[in-house]
Structures are given as structure tokens and as C-alpha cells.
Amino acid sequence: MLKELGGSKDIDVSQGIDWGVLPGPFVNPVQGFGLGVAAIGLYSPSGREDNVQLSTLSVKSFVSSSGSYGLGVENRSYFGDDTWRLGLDAWLSHSPQDYWGIGKEAASNSANQTAYDSQVLELSPNVSYRLLRNTYVQLGWDFQSVTELSAEGPALNAEQLQDSRISGLNLSLAYDSRDFAPNPERGLLAEIKYQHYSKQWGSDFGFDKMSVNVRQYHRFSPQYIVAFEVYGEGSRGDVPWYALPKLGTDGRMRGYYQGQYRDNYFLSSQIELRQALSERHGLVYWAGAGNVAPDWSGLFSQDWLPTLGIGYRLAFKPRVNIRLDVGIGKDSSGVYFQINEAF
């Protein structure tokens, strides 16, 4: 079965892109039950040196019981001796969701729960240049258009339901010694990113964001890898409600409804043990915690939200895993079917 879909024990990029196609079900707190199809390709740009990791191209689509559907493209290209890198994320989606308002108190009040629909287009290209060994500066553009908004509930008013877009430039500095970004076995990522959204760049809102991401990977035996992450994000200015830092994705704070908890500041940490059972099969176990608050100090003055879970891994290709995760949060849970590791 895996062979017919492109699964293999080897990667062959001699004829271009080595493709594989992965259909599969998913269940998560946002979209309900659904079916997704992902095509993932590994390729080697002309002139890539042998010690540089392969480039990846993913095309993803999904439909779900909530009425959600989407189509996305994710590309990571590594050129020559890895001096230059090119990235692109693009998504078009319709995703009925719920919104509780801003802040932890609002998120804890079920009376605030407001169902809304929207059509979302997201585009994020970026280019990175190596300054020093494993050290990169990156320039990118972030664009998001939110249209066809409608809602039933008290948390969103008419002004918040108007069509709008955000557009801005971002600049980041990163130390990245990971051996293979989609599924690292060793190395460190330490990145700080600044994003500036302005009417000068076509945005309806003017605001700033700053984020810090630190990830560490260590293989301490043939069977086990430990992965650790700390992520923080802050915003200031005229930030639209849909662009505020939010808690809960398929890669961070798994088990929570994405966007139920949102505020100007977000901080989370997680540790994951990755266990190989055989050449193709494995398990992961994780625990973590996170919080949102209106200011930085508020993150530490109230109880954090916990997350823990277990996941199954199937090696579709070398270092390319299908993952099925079950995450448990405070009063919520989620099941996630995805490609590659959560972080």
C-alpha cells in the first residue's frame, strides 16, 4: 500500500522530485472530523552540495465535517552550499470556527463562544542568507486577507466582521544547526523575528509583532531522541482580533481549540521523547504548558495551561514521518494527522 502511494526506504531525486501521496483522516478541536490529502516531494536544486539537506515541497488539501476546506503549499529550498535558502507558505481556506474574545477570562466563559465563518488567503514568502556558520538573516513578507465574515454570538461586532487584510515585512536572525528541518535528530534552532505591518505595505492595520523560538534536539541512543522547544510571541499596536497571538495548533499546545485563548502575549514550552520501535514505526510522548496575557508580566502571574499526549509515527520515506497525535489539554483534547514532526 505505501509503495503504491510513493512510500519507500530510499530517496531518489535523480529524475527531479521524489513524490509521495498521503491520504488520511483527522479529528481536531477546530475542524471536527475530516479527510486530508498531502503530496510531499523531496528534491535537490541544481548545484546543491551533498552535505546540504534536501529541499521539500508539500501540497496539502482537506475537507471536514465543520464545513472547513483548504488548499496549501509549503516549500523549503536549500541551494548550493546552503548559503541561500528560500521558503514559501501559501494557504487558501474556508474554516468555520469559534471565537471567545480576547484574554484568558473571556476564553473561560462559555457564554462568549461565537461561531464565525471566513474565507482566508495567506501568503508568506521569505529568503535567507548565511552570515556565519549556521547563522542566517531572513527577510520575508506576510500577507493575510480575511473576507466573507459572518458570525452568530456576542463576541464579534459589525466592525470586526468587515473584510480586511494585513500586510507587512519581517526580519529575523537565526542560528540553525538542525540536520534536517522537517525531522531533526540533532542540532539547535534559536530564532528571533520582528514583523511590522503598515498601511505602507497595503495593510488595513498598523502593528508590530516580535517572536522568539528556541528548539533543541539530541539523540542519546539509537532508539531515542529528545526534542525541546520554548516559543514566545508578543504584539502591540492596532492588532486585529484574528492576528493576535493564539494558543493551540497541531504543533504547539496540542489538545486546545486554536484561538480560544488569545491575547497580546503568548508563551509556551514543550518537551517530547521520540522512540523508534522499528525501522518504520515509532512513538512519541510529550508534555508542555503555555499561557496568554495582555502583557509580558501577566504570563507569570496566573496559572499555566497544561498539554500532554502520545503519538504514533510511520516512516513514509527516510526521515519523512506520518504522525498521528492525541493531545490532551485542560477541558479539551484533539487528534491530529499530519506529515513530519510537530516541531
Cβ atoms 34, 26 nearer than 8 A: yes
End-to-end Cα distance, the chain: 27
| Single pTM value for the model | 0.90
pLDDT at 317: 85
Instruction: Supply the DSSP symbol for 101.
Output: -
Q: pLDDT (tens digit, 9 = 90+) per residue, 89-144? A: 999 999 889 999 999 999 999 999 999 999 999 999 999 999 999 999 999 999 99
Check residue 107 and report its DSSP letter: H
- pLDDT on residue 57: 95
CA distances in angstroms from 52 to 78, 161, 166, 177, 181, listed in the order given: 7, 46, 35, 11, 11
pLDDT < 50: residue spans in the chain = none
CA 311 to CA 256: how far, in whole Å?
16
- CA dist., res. 280 & res. 188, Å (int): 25
Tell me the CATH class for 18-339.
mainly beta
Q: What is the pLDDT of residue 174?
A: 99
Burial class (CB in 10 A: 0-12, 13-18, 19+), 282: buried
Q: Which helix (H) or strand (E) holds 317?
A: strand 305-317
- Residues 123, 129, 130, 136, CA torsion sign: negative
Q: What is the pLDDT of residue 319?
A: 87
Residue 343, Cβ neighbours under 10 Å: how many? 18
Residue ranges per structural domain of the chain? 18-339
Is residue 342 within 8 A of residue 327, CB to CB? The reply is no
Q: What is the pLDDT of residue 299?
A: 97
**Predicted confidence (pLDDT) per residue in 97-109, tens digit:** 999 999 999 999 9
How far apart are alpha carbons 132 and 127 in whole angstroms? 16
pLDDT at position 336: 86
Q: What is the pLDDT of residue 105?
A: 94
Burial code (b: 16+ CB inside 10 Å, e: under 16) for 23-44 equals: eeebbbbbbeebebebbbbbbb
- What is the DSSP code (8-state) at residue 54? P
The Cα 44–Cα 13 span in angstroms is 6
User: Which cell numbers hold the place of 301?
Assistant: 502571574
> Which has the closest alpha carbon to 195: 131, 130, 141, 246?
141
pLDDT at 38: 87
Q: Are 283 and 312 in contact (CB under 8 A)?
A: yes
Specify the long-range contacts of residues 200-203, CB closer than 8 Å, at least 24 apart.
Answer: 201/141, 201/167, 201/168, 201/169, 202/143, 202/165, 202/167, 203/165, 203/166, 203/167, 203/168
Is the separation of the CB atoms in 291 and 266 below 8 Å?
A: yes
